[in-house]
Structure 1
């Protein structure tokens, strides 16, 4: 299918329901319908929006957070599940690409997950935040290099990162080297205060300029009642306000619509895809402006697993050390299998 020269993008800044995954999911489906009714080809939701971002972990000490952490486990999303099926069906019904942040449950662990559904409902990317930030490390496990991938969709080549992954220049470069055209950014919002929003704006505008791509960023919103439900301490409540910067940025680093910094809403803007070449004609940081013979990125793009078994075998052999101090599994592996260089694909 020929790609559209103009893509209408939507970024949702809405509040989750802090009591139920099902109720938050209902808000997602309603936002998809609303964005589609306005002609949107893409909608982006905030970081771990379903069932909700673990705001409690930012204001509660670990010894007091167990109850809320367990409740998050109970409401978290498995992939696939009825929840992901519902989002896929909505994407397919409305012909819209959906970028959804979830708390993904994988048996006994939670992960910060990002899901991309194509306009036909196909799940084209499932990735996990590679390094949770500060308080988040008590909540989520770590992702791996398999999620640092750019995927083709009906509207172009899409890449995604969550929150402070944008402060990892090599993670960003991995997506840039795969020629992303629209970058999905997701942040929690309603945290830290205005400085968080200011830093976020600098970050996403810089990535748009450096990558020569569009950036669609969504942040979450908390109502006053929700903030009080998270903590009755008025001093700590200040840490759960501000920090919203739902925005849509062009490859020239410009806002394509006034950003949403307060309240709920759906930001919509048209992306003129010809601006990508206009920017890269002057500065293509992974093309004519690169010096790969001097500087290049190597990435291990394999999915990690706690167990690797040979075909038709579920027995785990005891580790044997070689005389050089390395175990057999490591020494039997070709060095080229340990480190894979990012392979660029024509955009």
Structure 2
């Protein structure tokens, strides 16, 4: 009986592997849907559309982008998690729905670790610490000196409670011994407008949201919140160079698939997307958005999520940040 059970198990496993390989060889036979967990014109949406246009050409089938924004990215990410694992629904998301949101919400409608399959981080862009021209500071040291001399007097804007822009500034305040008032906004555009209008005086925001204003002389960029200097903004020092350690607010954008999507399909998607983002024309388009191509492996993607979790958990706990 035991031998029969083992034999049956081996046969069943072989059939599953064979069917998965066959599905991958046939894929795709119909349009592929790409669910973006954020609004049109957001950076995840920009990357999704750049990649999808090229992906459609490469696989010979339409690739349709669909925006499902809301609940800090949870709605769209949940839609991907609950889709059929057949390679015909994939998603585009950022760190929040895969890492920080698991700490900010008491319960998510999906489990990022078990309900989603990482495909690749397609691109990343640095988050930039910017200040209003009215602050009259030119570097991080001068900014911190001003903040320490005026505790609670200055405000910072963010893309919402629990966003990387919020967590990065909260970490900056605690690690530099300063006190800054948080003012959340619905998105990066509103957070930038708040600085321009004088409602807030600073923020850590994605480069694409702030650098046009920096180049127009309306804002001042003083540092990047990255582990090392950014290739798209090489003249800006890191926060670590100014003595504020381990604040990495990289605004990466990744593709995910439902869990149990055949490994061969995930591999094919990763290969196609990596080649797309590292092609010369797409690299130039990403550079115009202050983004750098990545195209790493699923394992590297998963490691980045784990690193984000470890980085932001103490910040969220120390500041009692919640979205419930």
The alignment's TM-score, normalised by the length of structure 1, stands at 0.28
Q: Which has the higher contact order (CA 8 A, sep 6+)?
A: 2
Structure number with higher helix proportion: 2
The alignment's TM-score, normalised by the length of structure 2, stands at 0.29
